[in-house]
Structure formats: C-alpha cells, structure tokens
Amino acid sequence: MLLEPTVNALVDPGFEAKARVFEQHGEVRNPNGVYVDGTFGRGGHSRLLLSRLGPGAKLVVFDKDPVAIQAALELQSRDPRVQVIHGGFASMFEEMQAKGLTQVDGIMLDLGVSSPQIDDPERGFSFMREGPLDMRMDTSRGMTAAQWLAEADVDEIREVIAKYGEERFAFQIAKAIVGRRESRPLRTTLDLAELVASVVRTREKGQHPATRSFQALRIHINQELEELARALAAALRLLAPGGRLAVISFHSLEDRMVKQCIAAARRRSEAQSRLPIFEKDMPRPILEPLGKVLPTDEEAKENPRARSSVLRVAQRTDEPLPADAESFVNAIRLVPQKSSRAARRKK
Ligand SMILES: C[S@@+](CC[C@H](N)C(=O)[O-])C[C@H]1O[C@@H](n2cnc3c(N)ncnc32)[C@H](O)[C@@H]1O
C-alpha cells in the first residue's frame, strides 16, 4: 500500500509529497545507509527498498507476527543486508542500540494489520469470517480478545470501545457482552459480530455494525497506540540528521498521533518565542514535515483496504535532541490514558 511513495520518501533526495508522480529509479540519498522497516508483513515495502539500496546497506525489519517473521527470515537467508527482529517496533530504540546502529537514515511504519492476517479466519481479526476471537498480532504471547472479554468489566469494555472505536453505542455493547457471557462465553468472531449487530441500531453506510468494535478491541489487545507513541519517540532519537520518517496510518487515531508528533517536533520553538531570549538561542525544529500522500483513486479502487490510508513523511533536522527527549515526547501527549482498571491496578 502506498508502496512507491513510502520508499521514495526514504530514499529520494528531492521527495515531494505534492508531486504525486514519484521518481522510480532516481538518485538514492544514502544507498549504503541504515534503514528500518518496523512492520515487515510480507515484505512488500522492504523488497522495494532493498532494490533501491546498495550492497553496503543495512535493513533492520521488525514484526510481531510469527508468520511475518518466517517470511522475513526467508528474505534474510537470500539477502545479507537484512536483519530480523521478532517483536514490537516500540522497542526499536533499544534493539537498534543493542546492534550499535544508532544513526538511522530512514524508518518506515505501515501500521495496522496485514491482508494475510485479516484473511486468515484463525487470527480472529475479521467480523466476516468465523474463527476464534484471538486478534493478537503476536500469537506467541499475550491475552486473546476472547480472554480479555471474559474478564473485563462493563466500564473497561465501554472505555476501550468508545476510545479506540469512537463508537456511540459503546455502553450498550459493553453491557450486552457482559450480559451474554453469563450464559455462554464469547468464543468466536461471529459470536461477537452478531451480538454487536443486535445492539448497534444505526448502520453507517457501507460499514458493518461491528467495524468499530473490532477495530477498538484489536487496538487494545495489541497496545497499538502505546506502541506507536514509543516508536515515534524512538524515531526522534534514532534518525540521523537528514534521516526520514514515513508512516502509513489507517485510522484517524493513529494519523492524529503521527501528525501531532511531527507538528510538535517542528513547532517546539513556539512556546519559547514569547520569552525574552535571542532568536539564535531558541530551539530549532527537530523534524521538518515533508507532507502527506493519499492513495490515488485508482489505488483505492484496486485495493479497497487502501482507501483510508495516509502516508506522512518528515525529515530529521540537525538540531540536537533535548536531553530529556523522553519527557519531550510525553509532553506532546502521545501516550493515551491507560484504561481505568489498569490504572486502578497500578495504584
Ligand atoms: C499493514 S502490514 C505491513 C505490510 C508490509 N508493509 C508489506 O509490504 O507486506 C502491518 C504489519 O505490521 C505488523 N505490526 C503491527 N504493529 C506492530 C508493532 N507494534 N510492532 C511490530 N509489528 C507490528 C503486523 O503484524 C503486520 O504484519
């Protein structure tokens, strides 16, 4: 999805989001540099990037999904430039540091679930296919959606569905889930999809009534927004001056976070602009936005899942990071609130 523009965003010295037609075989900025693909999937983006890079390049790829990791290991066996990490991209900074790779030329994230994950009923991501209510990207660890729904209370379920699904009927859905599990546990995707459909009265055009609830549960089970917040913080610390960040998001919660991070890293001098300090002493932007790219009508027609995708691109400036980079990132409020039960448990 948005394959060409994403790879071009990392390697094309004159990348311009507005330009819509992307140079296919132009000059490459750092052909032997260090790159990260945080979401390997089946390696579409990685393969295209590798085809543009030189023999001395390094590409570190991450994925939570064991099946995606199998595909990545196969690619690694044929291409020594590839290094594979099974795990969340949230730990990108620590993992890259452990490899001694702390100056990175390009990082790409193609967020969300992959088509093979949605299409495999056993993974439990689809409300259209009967399968276990799993929804974990990493099937080797963590709680499934069915396990979580069997334990969580009404408030907690409502909060997740309202916050991550932006669903108006979150309370009614949460009540129905808790009511239903008293007689029979919710085990499958269709159990849940049918229950939600019985409660959600108004259908949005072209949308299944369970779309928002499934999105919300998936985000919660995989801690997707927390992962993204940590990855954005890691990108600020890892990118070398001139290094590029390219993020494809699929829903407004993710896109808002990416947009806010880029905007905050750019505008960070604004707060100081009213203070009586010399201009030369004011902190300069950490990131410069290079724009956003939306799929063309043709792409959206060819692949309906691409319809809601947005690619945002930014370039690291040569301004040193503030010493408290972590608190800088927290200050831009990227990390969503913990759910009430988790917060209570922490106290
Ligand atoms: C949309 S797909 C990426 C497709 C990929 N760009 C390709 O060309 O095949 C997203 C992938 O990212 C993985 N993923 C999602 N969130 C992740 C995270 N926090 N850490 C690591 N992998 C993640 C998913 O398991 C999935 O394989």
Predicted pLDDT at 344: 43
Predicted pLDDT at 301: 86
> Cα of 248 to ligand 1 centre, how many Å?
11
Mean pLDDT across the stretch 336-346?
43
> Cα of 64 to ligand 1 centre, how many Å?
7
Q: Concatenated DSSP letters for 100-122?
A: T---EEEEEEE-S--HHHHH-GG
Q: Is residue 267 part of a domain?
A: yes
Predicted pLDDT at 287: 92
> Is 228 in the same domain as 111?
yes
Q: Is residue 339 part of a domain?
A: no
Q: Is the CB of 50 under 6 A from ligand 1?
A: no
Q: Is residue 81 part of a domain?
A: yes
Higher pLDDT, 17 or 210: 210
Q: Measured between alpha carbons, how far is 86 from 70 in angstroms, rounded to an integer?
A: 10
Minimum-distance ligand 1 atom for the alpha carbon of 250: 1
> Residue 199 belongs to what H/E stretch?
helix 189-199
Q: Is the CB of 95 under 6 A from ligand 1?
A: no
Minimum-distance ligand 1 atom for the alpha carbon of 68: 27
Q: Is the CB of 243 under 6 A from ligand 1?
A: no
> Is 27 in the same domain as 92?
yes
> Is 33 in the same domain as 110?
yes
Q: In what order do the strands lie in the sheet with 34-37?
A: 82-86, 58-63, 34-37, 104-110, 239-249, 310-316, 287-293
| Residue whose entry in the numeric block shows the structure tokens 């972590």 | 326
> Is 79 in the same domain as 160?
no
Q: Is residue 259 part of a domain?
A: yes
In the listed set 174, 200, 221, which residue is the last one of a domain according to the structure? 221
> Residue 179 belongs to what H/E stretch?
helix 170-183
Tokens of 89: 């991209």
> Is 235 in the same domain as 299?
yes
Predicted pLDDT at 339: 43
Per-residue pLDDT band for 193 (boundaries 50, 70, 90) equals very high
Pocket test for ligand 1, best of 2, 45, 63 (most atoms within 8 A of CB): 63
> Is 236 in the same domain as 326?
yes
Assign residue 185 the CATH number of its domain: 1.10.150.170
Q: Is the CB of 44 under 6 A from ligand 1?
A: yes
Q: How many structural domains compose the chain?
A: 2
In the listed set 181, 196, 221, which residue is the last one of a domain according to the structure? 221
Checking if the pLDDT of 247 tops 70, the result is: yes
Minimum-distance ligand 1 atom for the alpha carbon of 39: 12
Assign residue 298 the CATH number of its domain: 3.40.50.150
> Is 191 in the same domain as 241?
no
Predicted pLDDT at 88: 98
> Is 258 in the same domain as 319?
yes
Predicted pLDDT at 338: 43
> Is 8 in the same domain as 44?
yes
Q: Is residue 133 part of a domain?
A: no
Residue closest by Cα to atom 18 of ligand 1: 88
> Cα of 273 to ligand 1 centre, how many Å?
39
Q: Is residue 162 part of a domain?
A: yes
Q: Is residue 64 part of a domain?
A: yes
Say if CB 68 and CB 77 are below 8 A apart: no
Checking if the pLDDT of 337 tops 50, the result is: no
pLDDT tens digits for range 19-70: 766 666 678 999 999 999 999 999 999 999 999 999 999 999 999 999 999 9
Mean confidence (pLDDT) of the chain: 89
| Domain containing residue 248 | 3-115+224-333
Cβ within 8 Å of residue 153, ≥6 positions away: 178, 341
> Is 86 in the same domain as 229?
yes
> Is 107 in the same domain as 234?
yes
- Map residue 132 onto helix, strand or coil: strand
Q: Is residue 343 part of a domain?
A: no
Q: What are phi and psi of 312, to 5 degrees?
A: -115, 140
Checking if the pLDDT of 266 tops 60, the result is: yes
Predicted pLDDT at 341: 46
Tokens of 134: 């799993």
In the listed set 178, 205, 221, which residue is the last one of a domain according to the structure? 221
Per-residue pLDDT band for 325 (boundaries 50, 70, 90) equals low
pLDDT tens digits for range 106-160: 999 999 999 999 999 999 999 999 999 999 999 999 999 999 999 999 999 999 9
> Is 262 in the same domain as 207?
no
